[in-house]
Structure 1
Amino acid sequence: MNQTEVLQVLMGILLCSVNGLLGLGSALDCSDQDPTGTRCSISVEKLLDRAIQHAELIYRMSDEARTLFEEMFIPLSISAYQGHLGNSCTSSLVHIPTSKTEIQQISDKWLLHSILILVQFWIDPLADLQDSLDRYDNAPSALLSKTRWMSTKLMNLKQGVLVLMSKMLDEGGLDLGNNESLARHLAAPAMEEHVLRDYNALSCFKKDAHKVETFLKLLRCRHTDNLSCSLF
């Protein structure tokens, strides 16, 4: 076996053994390998199904975490402020197509890149949020568990998106450079600054988790030969 063949085998083993990749706590199922055993041959459709399941759970957990935080720390007078958060979320710069024409024109590459941008953007802010919540005197254990779970599953989802990009686009990830601190973009009115910052982070993450779920569902729709795919 020459050096090139050895490298192919090693890359195949690595791809097929990523722990927890888009599975709910289990390793990626690579029982369907090609005859040489050098690469994973799981279909794009199956990978998309797993990614969507992951994204749905992350979105649901983000909603529950935000609700818990709001009930525990946010006065009713501040809750009304949440309607203005859309413009203060940094990653709202990822454009959401609104017309049927726009949806038909966007490519799979654009969708996958947008998903990866959103997922990668939130990895560090979620870790910062977890550190901040750990310093609260009275943060419910359920809230801490949910935010910790979201951080872990977001990393798993990132790995899954990279596999999808490799299979669908024949390319790897994106270098986003240094992520700016989310706090720089989230204005805080008169209230404990760190509390409102964390609340805004949870609210913005929920919005972006929904975008990721929506984009993945559009990708799956396209790959089931459905010509009437829509974001809504």
Structure 2
Amino acid sequence: MAHRGSKGTKLYLTVLYMVASCSAVSMNDLLDRASQRSDKLHSLSTTLTHELDSHFPPIGRAIMPRPSMCHTSSLQTPNDKEQALRVSESDLLSLSRSLLQAWVDPLVLLSTSANSLPHPSHNNIYSKIQELQEHSKSLGDGLDILSGKMGPSSQYISLLPFRGGNNLGQDKISRLVNFHFLLSCLRRDSHKIDSFLKVLRCRAIKMRPEMC
């Protein structure tokens, strides 16, 4: 019993230390880390999209769903940097967190589907999807800490349920097309998240808007 108590005490102290460490980190540092992680997230999704393009049947492009069919399309977001610069800090963070949260389930589907994907580089694609999940989780944890520092309005998350099921289709073409479509949606959303966080970082260090 004493041994268990000792383990429990160590765990409790570790958690306290982590909380205290996060609290001690400045907003600027947190935003800088978040921006680096979001940049990596977008870079990975872009690399994966290009990798799929290298072995994608012409008919796949003809039947690819439109971007408006992405499950996150209902979320009203700034269309460009100029619009983003007019959005409040708390709203930009809320939008970033909403988009990131919306990709938890789709990333699981991409991960479970990658190994059986009819693509010569499916092993490498699977490995990169795993990285995407890790970066997404890490970024989400960082944004949770940021929202705690920025106040209640930044903690609001819009629910954007993914209704794509648990498989990408029965035939090879369907699986490739649906996988590619999901990745293209992720690439678009990761670019938005990265842009919003870079605007937040620029504001935090008081850079001129045109430099963001």
Q: 1:139 to 1:124 in 2, by over 3 A?
A: farther
Contact kept in structure 2, 1:62 and 1:206, CA below 8 Å: yes
Equivalenced residues, count = 197
What's the offset of the Cα at 1:71? 1.6
Segment drifting more, 86-95 vs 57-66: 86-95
Whose helix proportion is higher, 1 or 2?
2
The aligned residue for residue 19 of structure 2 is 15
- Counterpart of 1:155, as a letter, is K
Cα distance in 1 between the residues matched to 2:14 and 2:69: 45
What's the offset of the Cα at 1:89? 1.3
Segment drifting more, 157-166 vs 217-226: 217-226
The aligned residue for residue 4 of structure 2 is none
What's the offset of the Cα at 1:97? 2.4
TM-score (structure 1 length as normaliser): 0.72
Name structure 1 gaps, 5 residues minimum.
1-8, 17-29, 31-38
What's the offset of the Cα at 1:224? 1.8
- Counterpart of 2:173, as a letter, is E
The aligned residue for residue 88 of structure 2 is 107
1:149 to 2:149 alignment: no
TM-score (structure 2 length as normaliser): 0.78
Partner SS, residue 54 of structure 2? helix
- Counterpart of 2:207, as a letter, is N
The aligned residue for residue 126 of structure 1 is 107
Cα distance in 1 between the residues matched to 2:115 and 2:139: 24
The aligned residue for residue 197 of structure 1 is 178
Q: 1:111 to 1:71 in 2, by over 3 A?
A: same
> CA offsets per residue over residues 127-146 of structure 1, 9 Å max, x none?
11111112336552211111
1:78-117 equivalent positions in 2, closer than 5 A: 78-79=60-61, 85-98=66-79, 102-117=83-98
- Share of identical aligned residues, percent? 23
Higher relative contact order (CA 8 A, sep 6+): 2
Q: 1:87 to 1:54 in 2, by over 3 A?
A: same
Partner SS, residue 164 of structure 1? helix
Contact kept in structure 2, 1:61 and 1:146, CA below 8 Å: yes
Cα distance in 2 between the residues matched to 1:202 and 1:85: 13
The aligned residue for residue 169 of structure 1 is 151
Segment drifting more, 129-138 vs 217-226: 129-138
- Aligned match for 2:29, one of 23, 46, 65: 46
- Counterpart of 1:75, as a letter, is P
